[in-house]
Amino acid sequence: MCGVVGYIGSRQAAPTLLDGLKRLEYRGYDSAGLTIFNEEQEMRTVKCKGRIGALEEKIADHPLSGTIGIGHTRWATHGEPSDINSHPHTSPSGRISVVHNGIIENYQHLKAYLISKGYVFYTETDTEVIPHLIDFYYHGDLAEAVTQAASKMEGSYALGVMAREEPDKIVALRKDSPLVAGVSAEGNFIASDVSALLPYTRTVYYLHDNELAVIGASSIRFLSMEGESVAKEPVTITWSVDAAEKSGYEHFMLKEIHEQPKAIRDTLASRIMPGQPVAIEQINMSPEDIRAIQKIFIVACGTAYHAGVVGKTILEKMTGIPVETDIASEFRYRGPIIQENALLIVISQSGETADTLAALREGRKKGARTLAITNVMGSSVTREADSVFYTWAGPEIAVASTKAYVTQIIALLTIGLYFAQCKESMASEEIERIKSEMLLLPGKAEAVLAQKETLQKFAAETFNHRDMFYLGRGLDYAVAMEGSLKLKEISYIHTESYAGGELKHGTIALIEKGTVVIALATQKALREKMISNIKEVTTRGANVLGFTMGNAESGVWDGVANAMFYIPATEDLLAPILAVIPLQLFSYYVAVLRGCDVDRPRNLAKSVTVE
Ligand code: AGP
């Protein structure tokens, strides 16, 4: 996720754009840059690695004067944070400059084509193909060249584009990444979201997918991809700056829960494609290396550890390789036996967690090959691991991890399928069937989000309880652990997660009339056993919210629990991704009802860099 801004008008563009970028810094902050048309009608670009403050310092040394420009704050996906990989990106001729938020899935194919046409590439980014492609199609009409380039691009994009020959306009285009245009008496704007525009205007137009905006200092036109005019009504924004940063959601956590369909889609992009082999860039492992792996260790902390617990089942089922999942702070001190041909997978949203880093070093020291799954490009784990798998969830601001967790499971599924492909441990039809189901997950996650009323109602009935229990079997037990952590960290309610069959070995003594139990039963083979476990607690008076896959029609669930939540049907191995979403929402609603500081829970930090 990145932040895009553009301005054309009577103000100085550089300070206006820098101000807008600071308001978008929550969308990405590893590098930033501006392109400005100066008074001599030249396009000048200044960009650098680091926060907006670093860019401001660079601009102080190389002042940018002019009233038209585009700007960008980056959250790296393709190519580590560096000066050269920062946006704006420019065509080799220097006549096209582009800022981009999104992922160009077919960039390698486009890059090869453009190289064959004589274009030179300097960066590791997917974005660099965009200015080159626009340049390729440019014959004096920027809007037309952008349209033609877009017709060749697959993936998501919000673009701000300038052309040296047309210093009177910025062209903007969106597909699957947000973009707004703002109008004011002193000029017009584009931005990834309205928070960047609020000091200047509250009159905005929301672009829809495949709509172009051609923005002049005192004019704004909207076009379809066919070049036809699109009529749009302006919207007056009444939100505060704070609400705008959260796209109107009350908290970052709720916003990030709702970003999960996109985070899943982005993490799948260019890796899982119908009819094509699973692809992982930067895996740095030959098919022989993969076939030689005898044992996998997954090591992580907190929510990332819970993703690792799901990962154990996924990888064992897909690859037939035995997997051990460990809590990072325990791993080093238990003297793990790491024999030859072991792979150590560390999972860390931030890539900076001290215990996870220490476990990675321990594994390396003992001779394991290492693979890091992380959301932050250039973070410490990426520098120390042999291979890296980036989740493309975008920055996670709320302390409670949500979208990082689901993308970590997507990463583990993708790695599992990739290994299975090399080892031939799964039939190709089975791999294809799981891939097809994975591609349906974003839509199914949307369907889960749409059913929030059941969770709001159950939260309203139960938010003042002191204890709650989470039950599940198999993968549902792993999800129960994550649901339990989510509730306790943001609502301060004591929760415990139990394997459904284990409760009767002691903890069932705590179940009494009114005890709240969240019971997961998504796994088909374990459903009847789980129904029995639910009955064990309901007969002792528990108030049960049940989660299963499918719908109420079969009647199997009639009278089993006090309330039911149905997730859309999917493969059992994929169910955790859909099952965790209602648990996140339930925790959120309970915490809000209890008046807790949802985004900044007491005693917690987003990144735990001490042991
Ligand atoms: C979860 O909501 C927590 N914020 C926490 O458990 C977190 O997952 C853990 O500290 C690991 O962080 P990492 O993924 O950045 O390594």
Which residues lie below 8 Å from residue 50, measured CB to CB, with a gap of 6+? 30, 31, 32, 81
Q: Which atom of ligand 1 is nearest to the CA of 405?
A: 8
Q: Is 534 helix (H, G, I), strand (E, B) or coil?
A: helix
| Closest Cα to atom 7 of ligand 1 | 302
> Is 606 an active-site residue?
yes
Question: What residues are paired with 517 via a beta bridge?
Answer: 469, 544
Q: Which atom of ligand 1 is nearest to the CA of 349?
A: 14
C-alpha closest to that of 2 among 28, 31, 30, 35: 28
Confidence of residue 237 (pLDDT cuts 50, 70, 90): confident
pLDDT recorded at residue 376: 87
| Separation CA 454–CA 582 (nearest Å) | 9
Confidence of residue 554 (pLDDT cuts 50, 70, 90): confident
- Sign of the C-alpha dihedral, residues 509, 510, 516, 520? negative
Which residues lie below 8 Å from residue 447, measured CB to CB, with a gap of 6+? 568
Q: What is the average pLDDT across 302-311? A: 98
Q: What is the average pLDDT across 429-455? A: 97
Q: How far is the CA of 458 from the centre of ligand 1 (A)?
A: 27
Q: What is the pLDDT of residues 208-225, one digit of tens each?
A: 999 999 999 999 999 999
Q: What is the pLDDT of residues 249-291, one digit of tens each?
A: 999 999 999 999 999 999 999 899 999 999 998 789 999 999 9
Q: Which atom of ligand 1 is nearest to the CA of 353?
A: 16
Cα angle, residue 371 at apex, residues 367 and 374 outer, rounded to 5°: 145
Q: How far is the CA of 49 from the centre of ligand 1 (A)?
A: 25
Q: How far is the CA of 38 from the centre of ligand 1 (A)?
A: 45
| Separation CA 531–CA 438 (nearest Å) | 27
Residue 177 scores a pLDDT above 90 = no
| Closest Cα to atom 8 of ligand 1 | 303
Q: What is the pLDDT of residues 474-524, one digit of tens each?
A: 999 999 999 999 999 999 999 999 999 999 999 999 999 999 999 999 999
| Contact residues of ligand 1, CB 6 A cut-off | 301-304, 348-350, 353, 356, 399-401, 489, 607-608
Are 139 and 117 spatial neighbours (Cβ–Cβ below 8 Å)?
no
pLDDT recorded at residue 265: 96
| Closest Cα to atom 6 of ligand 1 | 302
Both tokens of 19, joined, read 């101000």
Q: What is the average pLDDT across 327-333? A: 94
Q: How far is the CA of 605 from the centre of ligand 1 (A)?
A: 9
Are 456 and 589 spatial neighbours (Cβ–Cβ below 8 Å)?
yes
Confidence of residue 384 (pLDDT cuts 50, 70, 90): very high
Confidence of residue 349 (pLDDT cuts 50, 70, 90): very high
The mean pLDDT value of the chain amounts to 94
Q: Which of 345, 349, 391, 407 to mutate to test the pocket of ligand 1 (most atoms within 8 A of CB)?
A: 349
| Closest Cα to atom 9 of ligand 1 | 302
Q: How far is the CA of 374 from the centre of ligand 1 (A)?
A: 11
The pTM of the full predicted model, rounded to 2 decimals, is: 0.84
Q: Which atom of ligand 1 is nearest to the CA of 402?
A: 2
Q: Which residue has the higher pLDDT, 358 or 245?
A: 358
